[in-house]
């Protein structure tokens, strides 16, 4: 009987260990070699957005917001974005995910303002198997079930010192009934359509994302998820996420500027003529037949969108970085 009790206790302990190691702590770092070129944030600045810290401009070491909101989040990795519970899988053969406060302000370092994004770094360590996932979530402050318009911007680059493969570096968002995104993987929606992301030796990548109208119920959670889908030997990627917003949607074109837009995958771009006065970039949606030559659906890069005679008047917004910077 005693042996049976011991066996049962050991089994329970092993179960707890397995569950506890499924989501490990992330390692907090900072990226100050990054910057945005042309892009001026606007989406997450919307005062009506129901996303807390959707522009990722608020970070703290103590994560006081956890106690403030009563959210069950075990993240104590160090500097992390307020109101987001960040996680990474704990898997043998994979480095723990790095969480980076990522500088996205315009211009040279001495002239920069404050504009930040959330970076997540994933690296295979040689003998890891399967996929590796990391991400962040927050409970949605939605009181009334209905349609809402969501926006998430992103860019991704991989290290050319190693190899990668098609569809290896992938990012999603999801709205689910649980703070565990794995419970409803059918709700995941990819943030871009590319087969291969930008190589890090380019030191720039087009700034893109996804927006659309979605149904949201009270009590649901928003998830941002990134992954290496395959155990490519020593492969690594940086995922940059920013400008997350969720606003009430309706069917009135006068109050819902997004009603007649072709939503879905998009690229941010800067029109030297149209955007000169308002200092805001525009979205060029893949579903918009007037938006041509945005990017390749195989390899990701930014190209000129619009020409006037021999002059380029519209170019993709890009994120830049130093390929030698540590991750």
Domain 23-259 listed as CATH 2.60.120.260? yes
pLDDT tens, the chain, 327 aa long = 343 333 333 333 333 333 333 456 789 999 989 988 765 555 445 668 999 999 999 998 877 777 777 788 877 667 889 999 999 999 999 999 999 999 888 765 555 567 899 999 999 998 899 999 999 999 999 999 988 999 999 999 999 988 888 899 999 999 999 999 999 999 999 998 888 899 999 998 888 899 988 999 999 999 999 999 999 999 999 999 999 999 888 767 777 666 666 568 888 876 654 444 455 677 777 776 455 444 445 556 545 555 565 565 666 788 999 999 999
Question: Taking the model in full, what pTM does it have?
Answer: 0.84
CB 185 within 8 A of CB 176: no
HSE-up of 34 (CA within 13 Å, CB side)? Answer: 26
- Alpha-carbon gap, residue 120 to 164, rounded angstroms: 17
Pairing of strands 264-271, 282-285: antiparallel
Using the structure block, give the residue that is written with the tokens 């500088």: 103
Domain boundaries, the chain: 23-259
**CB contact set of 114 (below 8 Å; sequence gap of 6+):** 57, 105
* DSSP letter (8 states) at residue 94: B
CB 190 within 8 A of CB 229: no
The neighbour count for residue 116, using CB atoms within 10 Å, is 23
Containing 223, the helix (H) or strand (E) segment is strand 221-228
- The residues that bridge with 36 in the sheet, in sequence order, are 106, 319
């Amino acid at each position: 009987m005693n042996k049976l009790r011991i066996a049962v206790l050991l089994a329970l302990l092993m179960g707890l260990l397995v569950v506890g190691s499924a989501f490990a702590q992330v390692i907090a770092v900072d990226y100050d070699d990054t910057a945005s070129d042309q892009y001026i944030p606007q989406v997450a600045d919307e005062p009506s957005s129901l996303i807390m810290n959707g522009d990722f401009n608020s970070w703290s070491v103590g994560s006081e917001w956890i106690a403030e909101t009563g959210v069950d989040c075990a993240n104590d990795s160090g500097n992390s974005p307020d109101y987001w519970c960040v996680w990474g899988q704990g898997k043998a053969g994979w480095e723990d995910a790095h969480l980076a406060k990522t500088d996205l302000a315009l211009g040279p370092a001495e002239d920069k303002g404050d504009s930040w994004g959330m970076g997540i770094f994933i690296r295979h360590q040689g003998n890891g198997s399967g996929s590796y996932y990391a991400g962040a979530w927050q409970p949605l402050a939605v009181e009334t079930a209905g349609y809402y318009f969501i926006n998430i911007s992103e860019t991704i680059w991989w290290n050319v010192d190693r190899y990668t493969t098609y569809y290896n570096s992938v990012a999603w968002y999801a709205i689910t009934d649980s703070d565990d995104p794995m419970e409803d993987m059918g709700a995941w929606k990819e943030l871009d359509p590319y087969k291969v992301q930008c190589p890090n030796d380019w030191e720039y990548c087009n700034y893109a994302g996804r927006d659309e109208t979605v149904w949201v119920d009270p009590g649901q959670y928003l998830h941002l998820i990134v992954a290496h889908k395959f155990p490519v030997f020593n492969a690594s990627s940086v995922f940059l996420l920013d400008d997350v917003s969720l606003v009430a949607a309706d069917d009135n074109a006068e109050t819902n500027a997004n009603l007649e837009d072709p939503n879905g995958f998009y690229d941010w771009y800067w029109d030297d003529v149209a955007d000169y006065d308002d200092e805001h970039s525009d979205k060029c949606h893949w579903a918009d037949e007037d938006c041509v030559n945005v990017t390749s659906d195989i390899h990701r890069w930014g190209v000129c969108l619009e020409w006037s005679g021999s002059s380029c008047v519209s170019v993709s917004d890009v994120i830049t970085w130093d390929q030698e910077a540590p991750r």
